[in-house]
């Protein structure tokens, strides 16, 4: 599996959580069914958005990208998303990127103009097949002001000359940086081979990103780049896509703090992954209550066994039909809403019985099968909220100390400023200074 990852220039919003949660659980289901899965999810750490934030807020490149990679991992941990097997960064694959582009040039699929390299879409006969777009329509719908050096308005950049002050690297064509689309082709090919099973991401990436990935990859290999493409629908607010540029975002950490990990995942699973999903606080609150009902059921069963519910080996006659419904639903294009109905039907059945054998089997079914595949019900009741609340409280205290330290630094009282830093370090809290202020992390 290759899953398109985040561009690391800001904190992630709840819309970014959807592909992370969905494809994390799809991977878990494949493993549940006996497949060995190698999962790659990249970090885009070279991009116009990163460069714009560097310019606007005076961040240096390494600090900005490292900070938001760390914050992404913190958000994924809060969501219960397992790390991928490989998490490559665009900037770590530049020699391979330059080699990939050079081969496209050698084989006539690309051309260079004034230090910029473009992919020639007319050289790839099936361009547009993934997104079901015709090249003539793309040309007719092209924006005014298409750069004159392009042969065709749909041609896209593989390598861009750098402007002054931008992060840049040497290449045979210019000192510059890779275009957006080339990075995923290079990293997927290096880590999964020229042809692999599943490529996943948001449906906003189908065109142009995935279309361009497919074109440049299959042009070189003459093989299917990915055998299956999976695209999740967007989070919406009042019918509009949730996006930082629109300003209608809710951060992942805010949602987890307010509603809890299980509520966020349940909300995401309540709509089929390919359909759009509308953000609603009322819906989140309802799913938080639903998560609480499952937690109450599991806690009641745990208390009935004095906190040590025996592990269920194999599937009993009572469990078997439920297991079949579970597998059938997820084999049917990962139909998670149907699985949620099964989970809550099972909870109602467990709440209506005192049969210890059924209770023990139901506990294993919900927590160790359904919950393990969907990443649900793994924390004790409310502990997800409590852990996040404790972190928020610690963050508030540390930031007060950082404000005091900044005052000392402004007053050039560096001994007191250093004393705060050293005291925090003794407690395992590391302070990192950057042009935009100071941040902290734990060792």
Alpha-helical regions (H) of 37-93: 48-57, 61-79
Give this prediction's pTM.
0.82
Q: What is the pLDDT of residues 292-348, one digit of tens each?
A: 999 999 999 999 999 899 888 888 999 999 999 999 999 999 999 999 999 999 999
Is the pLDDT at 380 greater than 70, yes or no? no
pLDDT the model gives residue 382:
41
CB atoms within 10 A of CB 329: 18
Domain ranges across the chain: 399-442
Nearest Cα to 291, choosing from 269, 275, 309, 312? 269
> Do you find a cis peptide bond into 208, omega within 30 degrees of 0?
yes
pLDDT the model gives residue 241:
75
| 270 DSSP assignment | T
Q: Does residue 319 contact residue 325 with C-beta atoms inside 8 Å?
A: no
Question: What are the residues facing 202 on neighbouring strands?
Answer: 232
DSSP class per residue in 220-269: HH-S-SEEEEEEEPPEEETTEEP-TTTT---BHHHHHHHH-HHHHHHHHH
Helix (H, G, I), strand (E, B) or coil at 117: strand
Banded model confidence at residue 377, pLDDT cuts 50, 70, 90: very high
Helix H or strand E encompassing 115: none
CA distance 388 to 260: 9
Q: Does residue 14 contact residue 258 with C-beta atoms inside 8 Å?
A: no
Reported as half-sphere exposure (CB side, CA atoms, 13 A), residue 302 has a value of: 11
Is the pLDDT at 413 greater than 70, yes or no? yes
């Amino acid at each position: 599996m290759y899953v398109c990852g985040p561009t690391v220039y800001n904190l992630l919003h709840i819309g970014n959580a959807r592909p992370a949660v969905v494809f994390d659980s799809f991977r878990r289901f494949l493993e549940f069914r006996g497949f060995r899965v190698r999962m790659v999810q990249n970090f885009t750490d070279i991009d116009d958005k990163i460069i714009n934030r560097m310019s606007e807020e005076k961040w240096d490149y390494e600090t900005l990208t490292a900070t938001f990679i760390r914050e992404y991992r913190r958000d994924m941990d809060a969501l219960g998303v397992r790390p991928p097997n490989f998490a490559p960064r665009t900037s770590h694959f530049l020699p391979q990127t330059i080699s990939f582009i050079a081969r496209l040039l050698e084989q006539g699929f690309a051309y260079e103009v004034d230090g910029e390299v473009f992919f020639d879409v007319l050289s790839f006969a099936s361009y547009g097949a993934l997104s079901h777009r015709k090249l003539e329509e793309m040309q007719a719908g092209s924006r005014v002001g298409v750069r004159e050096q392009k042969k065709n308005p749909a041609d896209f950049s593989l390598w861009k000359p750098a402007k002054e002050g931008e992060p840049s690297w040497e290449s045979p064509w210019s000192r510059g940086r890779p275009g957006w689309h080339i990075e995923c082709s290079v990293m997927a090919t290096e880590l999964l081979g020229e042809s692999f099973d599943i490529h996943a991401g948001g449906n906003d990436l189908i065109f142009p990103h995935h279309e361009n990935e497919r074109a440049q990859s299959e042009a070189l290999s003459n093989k299917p780049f990915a055998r299956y493409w999976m695209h999740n629908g967007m989070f919406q607010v009042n019918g509009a896509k949730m996006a930082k540029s629109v300003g209608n975002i809710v951060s992942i950490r805010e949602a987890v703090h307010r509603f809890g990990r299980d509520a966020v995942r349940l909300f995401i699973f309540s709509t089929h992954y390919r359909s759009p999903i509308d953000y609603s606080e009322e819906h989140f609150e309802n799913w938080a209550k639903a998560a609480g009902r499952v937690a109450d059921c599991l806690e009641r069963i745990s208390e009935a066994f004095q906190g040590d519910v025996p592990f269920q080996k194999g599937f009993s006659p009572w469990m078997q039909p439920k297991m079949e419904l579970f597998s059938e639903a997820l084999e049917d294009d990962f139909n998670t809403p149907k699985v949620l109905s099964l989970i809550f039907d099972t909870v109602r059945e467990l709440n209506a019985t005192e049969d210890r054998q059924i209770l023990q089997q139901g506990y294993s079914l919900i927590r160790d099968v359904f919950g393990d595949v969907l990443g649900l019900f793994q924390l004790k009741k409310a502990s997800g909220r409590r852990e996040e609340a404790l972190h928020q409280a610690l963050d508030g205290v540390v930031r007060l100390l950082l404000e005091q330290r900044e005052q000392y630094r402004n007053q050039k009282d560096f001994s007191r400023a250093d004393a705060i830093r050293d005291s925090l370090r003794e407690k395992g809290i590391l302070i990192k200074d950057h042009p935009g202020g100071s941040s902290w992390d734990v060792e």
